[in-house]
């Protein structure tokens, strides 16, 4: 008997760089590919929230922000996430999936304000919710926003879509001997300084035993494979027995 997918409600974290290719900061082909995958997953009854970054357009800690006040630069980065969110919303709705953008930064002409109960109600009604604007405060990354939103909406896992097929001990694109992990604890990821999410985000997930799955985003069907429980990518979690000991 088919017991259904492993995760019924997920939070997908997309970096701003996930939207870009060599020719454009927002690639229509890439956005379309992501939208197709998300529509497929939603059609199988999975509730989906998405947190988007803005690094393909502007990042508060990037070299182009050098000399700027960090708060001002981070606010510019928040606006960049809204641009990506609207791009993704358009592509998803072309797939026939109703979508809402909620922003932590008030801009009522473009997006709903972030309201937790409203977001959950959208998910229950089968709408995909895109969370933009980070947490609406400087000095916090969109990784941290993803962990926060996932916990607030009761997501069962964070799916971190990347350009490689999991977490490695060093960059596999520059070192053919890099070792891929199939499974890690949150504490191991923190103590080894692995490029999973930033330390604040991982700590939030560890404290609340929220699993993170890092996987290759643009391989067709991969989002569904993760949701369905196939052992792809890298699972970062805190086993129940370890959590009980702590």
Q: Is residue 83 part of a domain?
A: yes
> Which of 193, 232, 192, 194 lies closest to 213 in space, CA to CA?
232
Q: Is residue 103 part of a domain?
A: yes
CA angle 230, 44, 133 (to 5 degrees): 85
Q: Is residue 201 part of a domain?
A: yes
225: its two tokens: 């494979």
Backbone angles phi and psi of 182, in degrees to 5: -90, -25
144: its two tokens: 């941290």
Name 116's Cβ contacts closer than 8 Å, sequence gap at least 6.
152, 153
Distance, CA of 202 to CA of 210 (rounded, Å):
9
pLDDT score, position 172 = 86
Please give the average pLDDT of every successive group of 10 residues along the chain, which has 246 residues. Answer: 85 95 93 97 97 90 80 93 97 98 95 98 98 96 97 98 92 86 96 92 97 96 96 92 53
Name 200's Cβ contacts closer than 8 Å, sequence gap at least 6.
140, 141, 143, 144, 147
What's the gap between Cα 217 and its chain centre?
10
CA angle 173, 30, 233 (to 5 degrees): 45
Are 149 and 209 spatial neighbours (Cβ–Cβ below 8 Å)?
A: no
Distance, CA of 217 to CA of 84 (rounded, Å):
16
The total of other beta-carbon atoms located within 10 Å of residue 69's CB is: 11
Distance, CA of 154 to CA of 165 (rounded, Å):
26
Q: Is residue 3 part of a domain?
A: no
Q: Is residue 62 part of a domain?
A: yes
Distance, CA of 151 to CA of 116 (rounded, Å):
10
Are 185 and 238 spatial neighbours (Cβ–Cβ below 8 Å)?
A: yes
Domain span at residue 55 reads 9-245
| CATH number for 130 | 3.40.1160.10
Residues in the chain: 246
Count of domains for the chain: 1
pLDDT score, position 239 = 85
pLDDT score, position 211 = 98
Q: Is residue 198 part of a domain?
A: yes
Distance, CA of 126 to CA of 129 (rounded, Å):
9
Q: Is residue 4 part of a domain?
A: no
Q: Is residue 1 part of a domain?
A: no
pLDDT score, position 2 = 60
pLDDT score, position 232 = 93
């Amino acid at each position: 008997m088919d017991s259904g997918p492993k995760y019924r409600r997920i939070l997908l974290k997309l970096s701003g760089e996930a939207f870009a290719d060599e020719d454009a900061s927002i690639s229509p082909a890439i956005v379309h590919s992501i939208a197709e995958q998300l529509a497929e997953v939603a059609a199988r009854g999975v509730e989906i929230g998405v947190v988007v970054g803005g690094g393909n357009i502007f990042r508060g800690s990037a070299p182009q922000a050098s000399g700027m006040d960090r708060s001002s630069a981070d606010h510019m980065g928040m606006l960049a996430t809204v641009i990506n969110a609207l791009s993704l919303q358009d592509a998803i709705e072309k797939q026939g999936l109703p979508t809402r953008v909620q922003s932590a930064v008030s801009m009522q002409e473009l997006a709903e304000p972030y309201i937790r109960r409203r977001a959950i109600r959208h998910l229950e009604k089968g709408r995909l919710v895109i969370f933009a604007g980070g947490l609406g405060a400087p000095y916090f990354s969109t990784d941290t926003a993803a962990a926060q939103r996932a916990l607030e909406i009761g997501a069962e896992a964070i799916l971190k879509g990347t350009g490689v097929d999991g977490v490695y001990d060093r960059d596999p694109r520059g070192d053919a001997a890099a070792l891929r992990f199939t499974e890690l604890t949150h504490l191991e990821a923190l103590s080894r300084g692995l490029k999973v999410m930033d330390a604040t985000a991982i700590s939030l997930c560890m404290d609340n035993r929220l699993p993170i799955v890092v996987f290759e985003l643009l391989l067709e069907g991969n989002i569904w494979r993760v949701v369905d429980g196939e052992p792809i990518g890298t699972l970062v979690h805190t086993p129940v027995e370890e959590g009980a000991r702590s």
